[in-house]
Structure formats: C-alpha cells, structure tokens
Amino acid sequence: MQLATSFIDQELTYIKGVGPSRSELLKNELSIVSIRDILVDYPTRYEDRTQFQLIKDIRTGNDVVQIRGVITSLATVGTGRKKRLVGHFKDKSGSVELVWFRSIRWLQENLETHKPYIVFGRVSKFGRRLSIAHPELELVTQQKLKSTATFVPIYRSTERLGASGLDSKGRRKIVRTILAQLKDEDLPEHMPEYLVKKLHFPSYKDALHYIHFPPDNEALRKAEQRLKFEELFLIQLTIVKQYVTRRKLLKGHLFPEIGDYFNDFYANHLPFSLTGAQKRVLKEIRRDFKSGQQMNRLLQGDVGSGKTIVALMSMLMALDNGFQACLMAPTEILAQQHMAGICELLAKTKIRVAILTGSIKGKTRQEVLKLLRLGEIHFLVGTHALIEEHVQFKHLGLAIIDEQHRFGVAQRAKLWEKGKSKPPHILVMTATPIPRTLHMTLYGDLDVSALDELPPGRKPVKTQHKTEYHRPAVYKFVKEQIAAGRQIYIVYPLIEESEHLDLENLDSGYERLLADFPPPSYQISVVHGRMKQEQKDFEMQRFVSGKTHLMVATTVIEVGVNVPNASVMIIENSERFGLSQLHQLRGRVGRGADQSYCILMTSFKLTHEAKERINTMVSTNDGFEIAEVDLRLRGPGSMAGTQQSGLPTLKLANLVRDNVLLKTAREIAMRILDKDPDLRSVHHLPLRAYLEKYVEDAKDWSKIS
C-alpha cells in the first residue's frame, strides 16, 4: 500500500509568500524542499504571549514586553539615512515610543491611529524615555479577542533567511498559510488508531497544528509527546523489523563442532583462566554458530577486558568446522598488534596466520593472496586492505571487525560480501562502552554481548587530577617510576603552537621535558599524526622494547599500543578532551600486574562541564558509567554517523531526556511485530505505507552491522 502524492509532498514554491527564490533559499540554507519539510521543521522555542504588561510597570530597558493599547500619533522624524517613523503608543497607565527605520511609507499607509493594537518587542531606555524599535504589531479584532493562540513559535534561521523575510515572523506566516489549506486527507493518521487512543495522543493533524501554534501549555505538551514518541517508535519499528527479517531470511553457516583446534588451545595454550564474562560471551557466540542463522553480534568491553581472546577462540570454532576467519582493524598499527598477539598465542600450534595491510606489497602480497584462495591461510588479520576486490577467501565463515565505528558502512558491506555460498558470521568489537539508550537505536538490530569483568591480576588505574602548581611533584613521581623500571606516556592535544588556543602543545612540551629529563639519563620517543608511518613505527618500537623511558604523543596512541610496562599516563590540558577519549587513553596503562596511574593535568579555571568530566574520570574506571555521563553531557550526536543506517532523524526527541519514552516505544514496536511482522493487518496498513514512503527508502545495512 503506497501513499498517493499529496499536497504536503509538493514543493514549497507555489505556497503564497514563498516563490522560487525563497524556495531555493530554504532548500540551500535548511534543506527544506517540500511542504512536509517545513511542517516537520519544528519551532526551537516559544514566546509566551499570555501575559500583558502595563507601560507603567516597565522598569528597565532590554526587557521583552507585550502591551495592549492604541497608537495616538504617527510622524516622520529626521532626513536621509536618519529618517524614521515614530509612533506614540498609549495604554491606561502611560506611553511608549514605537520607532521604525525601514518600510516607513508602507507603515504610514497601513497603520491606523486610535485603533487597539497588541505590541510585542524589546524595550530600550534613553534617559527616562522608553522606546521599542521595529515592534511586532497586531490589530485587535473580535476574532483576535476570541483567539486562544498565545504561544508564538520561534524557528531556526540564518542571516540570509532573515534578510529575505524568512525569519521567525516570515516562517510563521508561511506555516499558517499551509495549515489553513490542509485537509484531513492531506494528513491521514498513520499511527494505529488503537495506539493513539491508548496513549491519549492527539491526532497527527492536531499534533502538527499544536506544535506550531499551541493554544496552551497542555496542548503543547501533548503534541510534543505524540511527535517525540512517533520519532522513537518509527526508529524502533524499523530496527526491530530489520532484526526480525534478518533472523528469518538470512541463513548462516552451521558450526556444530567444537574440535581439536579449540580444545587443544583451551587445554594447552591458553595463558590464563577465562573470566566468567568471557565464558558467558563464548557460550552466546557458540549458540549463534549452532543456530543456522547468520550471527550479527556486538561485543563491547573496556580496554583490557579480554575481547581479543574471545575473538581468537571464536575463530578457532570456525576453523574446527572447516572455515577461514578474518579480523579487520581500522589502522595498520592495531592490525599489527592483533597479528603479534594472535601469533604469540598460536606459536606452538600449526595454525597459519597472515596479515594484509596497505604496506604489504609485491611478492609477499601475492603469496598471501594465493594461499588465502587455496585455503592454506586459516586466519587473516588486516586493515581495509581485506575488502579489496582481489582478496578472495576459499571459505570465509567468520568476519571480526574491531572498533567498527572507524569504518564506513560500505567498507563493512564489502567484507560481508566475501562469503560465497552464505554470508560470514559477523562479530563487531568495540572498546567504547555504549549506553543502553544507544543500544536500542544505533545497535538495536544487533545481539549484544558485554565483557564487564577485568581479567584476574589487573589492578584498576588510579586517576588523579593535578594543576600546574603540582607539576614539580608530578615530575618527581615520574622519575621515581622510571627508576623502578616503569615507562611513561605524556599526551598532548596539539602538535604545534596555536594562536587561538592557549593549550599545552607537543613541541614546546617536548622542549621542556628535555630540560627536566635530560639525555642520556632519560630517553624520549615522540609520536604524532603528521609523522610518516615508518617514523611512527620506529619510535613506537623503541618505546615497546624499553629503549625509551617516556613517550610524548598526541592521541595517536589512543589505540594500537600495548606496553604492559607503561604504568603512568599524563594527559596535558585534559579538560580539552572528551570523556570517551580520556577513557580510551587511560586504557593504554594498567595492562601489566603493577599499579598504574593516570594524571589529568588541567588549568586552574575549569567550566562546569569540564569539572564534571574530570571528576567522573577520577571517581570511576567503569566504562559504562563513563559512557552514560558522556552521553548526558554531549548528547547522542548523529544517530548513525552520516545517517547511514537509513533511520529517521530525531527532531524533537532526545535519547537522554526521553529514555523512558524510548523504552516504551521499543516495547510496543516489539509487541506489534511479534503479532504482525509484515504489518499487513488492517490496523497497521497506514503505518506500513508511511514507513515505505518516508522511512524505508534507504538501503538496509542491518545484515552487516
């Protein structure tokens, strides 16, 4: 069932007060093209016009006031550019000047003296005289007296829109014109009627009227609730529907066996006991492998929680069933680290592991590709080089994607297509803990596993907040740690000095460190994003091998460096980093058995939000708790990167503030799809048609995460 093209789907050009030039401007400035677009570009706030002031009660300038009275006189004053129209406006308590510098002739022809007007504007005070420049005026008619429309919408705008008469006042006129022309068939109810009644929502048409021109607070509240719920409900319906469809249609390779490869590794080569969380996650993955459906699972866990060993043991399950596996990482450094770790764990087995990155060329590359096609390489580790067309597996059964948010959707899709008869099972890993509210949106169509337990022997990193006053004591502590055989990270937010940002920078920081930690007693590595890969690798290797005591770096060490001997991280100007980034950086230490420390250096003056970020880092190591605070402070941002999931955009709802509404929307969506998965019942046909027309026109990427 498709919705016919209706009035609201037409372009704005032909609406009174718009025309081709304004229509083009709205398109370029705000991406508003159709009548529907402008109706769902909701007000950002409202001015409450329920209250009127008496002129005698206006005490100070710069107040925004609404007064009712009459214009007693109009006269032009001055000449040339200083010419202005001045009106004397009077109520029963006093008078105020109204002043206009533009459109003087039109105003003289259209304003009427001694007729009642409502005036709204900002008051200026010159000595004892009050004036309002370019006020909004409305003639009080009998219709106006009966009207209850007292909340005036304010819309987002730009300088160019304002100059073309498309400020809030201009937008209000256009929206009023459109709403007056709307017929019932232009805004049919697409939500199930039983649901609208059950939740005591206004109709869709009424909700749109009230969101733009609410008669009172209660009508505005109900309209907002209806439209917020609808945004969240449509997202959840889309996600859950994709999940149900994928589970029903996409068959996966069966991995029924736990064989020699897995059992030998578990019994003879596993260097430590698995945590309870790791065992639980492996059971969940095992259950997926035996189900006959394609696994599409998100594995999240803090840095150091043991995701790599879970990934490796999942790969061993694939190998036991005659399949190859691959692991794709976002950077060459991280791919090399995964390769080194896996090879070390499998050193005493006959399993063949290879790596493929952009820097591997010539005969070496050709040999890897040949052995991969023949099935003689069991596990392939690499970067986006894995998704190149000429990379062919004999029998790919499992694809693992590390830090998946660093890859574009199209890149991940190419990896999914590497499977031949059936798609490979997908395991997505992230060290960025995801709040539950985002689970239900960004990752609502994935099964989720969490490693919420650190391996035994790991000590939580002690985090401290220090200012410049404490620097001598911090450096003394660093020297003590170096004397005890430990290594130190020092992270800076900038590479070179900036005229605009008063931040510690890597260049000047390095110069100062040379004075405090002079060679040859102390050796320093320097790593930043502008260095060539060979230089970075050389410096990192010097630090990894223990040849240097300190690594001075920008955030390039956020992922990819695993140095158990590094026990201290100092983050300069840490107030300039986001919570998620601070948590990721802190995860670089605490990887050995020794007590590790993270020292957050800041300036003396901190904003309220910066204080909350620093205090959160000091008070907890729990990545999930940190993620919740981060979400609250920063907001969810773009729902799915560059809208690549095909989900509707949130215009009113907020994933943090409206999380209760989100949960309700998800529960209802799941109940509806459980009974009517294809939305074919008579109650759901309008909803199905609306989804097909406005939501489901984007490519369904759910099967590749």
Q: How confident is the model at residue 125 (pLDDT cuts 50, 70, 90)?
A: confident
Q: How confident is the model at residue 698 (pLDDT cuts 50, 70, 90)?
A: very low
For the residues 337-363, what does the mean pLDDT come to? 91
Inter-residue contact 285 to 317 (CB < 8 Å)? yes
Can you identify the CATH homologous superfamily of domain 51-147?
A: Nucleic acid-binding proteins (2.40.50.140)
Query: Tell me, which fold does domain 275-291+306-430 have in CATH?
Result: Rossmann fold (3.40.50)
Confidence at residue 616, expressed as pLDDT on a 0 to 100 scale: 94
Domain boundaries of the chain, sorted by first residue: 1-49+150-180, 51-147, 275-291+306-430, 462-620
Inter-residue contact 647 to 456 (CB < 8 Å)? no
Q: How confident is the model at residue 439 (pLDDT cuts 50, 70, 90)?
A: low
User: 10 is written with which tokens?
Assistant: 């037409």
Q: Compute the distance between CA of residue 609 and CA of residue 576 in angstroms, rounded to an integer.
A: 11
Q: Compute the distance between CA of residue 224 and CA of residue 653 in angstroms, rounded to an integer.
A: 9
Confidence at residue 696, expressed as pLDDT on a 0 to 100 scale: 53
State whether CATH 3.90.1520.10 applies to domain 462-620: no
Asked whether residue 355 carries a pLDDT value surpassing 60, the answer given is: yes
Asked whether residue 559 carries a pLDDT value surpassing 80, the answer given is: no
Confidence at residue 2, expressed as pLDDT on a 0 to 100 scale: 46
Q: What is the pLDDT of residues 481-493, one digit of tens each?
A: 999 999 999 998 8
Q: Which of 368, 377, 419, 371 is nearest to 398 (CA)?
A: 419
Alpha helices (H) along 428-532: 436-439, 471-483, 506-516
For the residues 282-294, what does the mean pLDDT come to? 93
Q: Compute the distance between CA of residue 22 and CA of residue 559 in angstroms, rounded to an integer.
A: 48
Return mean pLDDT, the chain.
84
Q: What is the pLDDT of residues 219-261, one digit of tens each?
A: 999 999 999 999 999 988 888 887 777 777 778 889 998 999 9
Judged by average pLDDT, the poorest of 216-220, 308-312, 364-368, 441-445 is 441-445
Q: How confident is the model at residue 372 (pLDDT cuts 50, 70, 90)?
A: very high
For the residues 348-368, what does the mean pLDDT come to? 92
Return the DSSP state at 567. E
Q: Which distant-in-sequence residues (6+ apart) come within 8 Å of 363 by Cβ?
A: none
Asked whether residue 106 carries a pLDDT value surpassing 60, the answer given is: yes
Q: Answer whether 275-291+306-430 and 462-620 agree in fold.
A: yes
Radius of gyration (Cα) for the chain, nearest Å?
32
Q: Model's pTM, two decimal places?
A: 0.66
